């Protein structure tokens, strides 16, 4: 779980190692439900939806 959180928050967002869609996906499935407050969870979901809509 910790590895998952570190990868999502620590690496994916600042360094852009993954594509935008993957970053949104890992943030949603991984970080948001476990540690983040509900407000941040909704923000991440909106961000993911926005990124997905932007790419398609």
- Look at the alpha carbons of 10, 13, 18, 22 in this order and tell me if their dihedral is positive or negative: positive
Residue 49 has a pLDDT of 82
Cα 14 from Cα 39, distance rounded (Å): 21
For the chain, give the percent of residues with pLDDT over 90: 0
What pLDDT, in 10s, does the model give residues 22-49?
555 554 444 445 555 567 677 778 888 8
**Per-residue confidence band for 15, with pLDDT thresholds at 50, 70 and 90:** very low
List the domain boundaries for the chain: 2-6+20-55
Confidence of residue 4 (pLDDT cuts 50, 70, 90): very low
């Amino acid at each position: 779980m910790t590895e998952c959180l570190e990868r999502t928050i620590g690496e994916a967002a600042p360094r852009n190692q993954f594509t935008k869609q993957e970053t949104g996906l890992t943030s949603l499935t991984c970080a948001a439900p476990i540690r983040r407050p509900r407000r941040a969870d909704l923000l991440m979901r909106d961000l993911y939806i926005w990124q997905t809509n932007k790419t398609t």
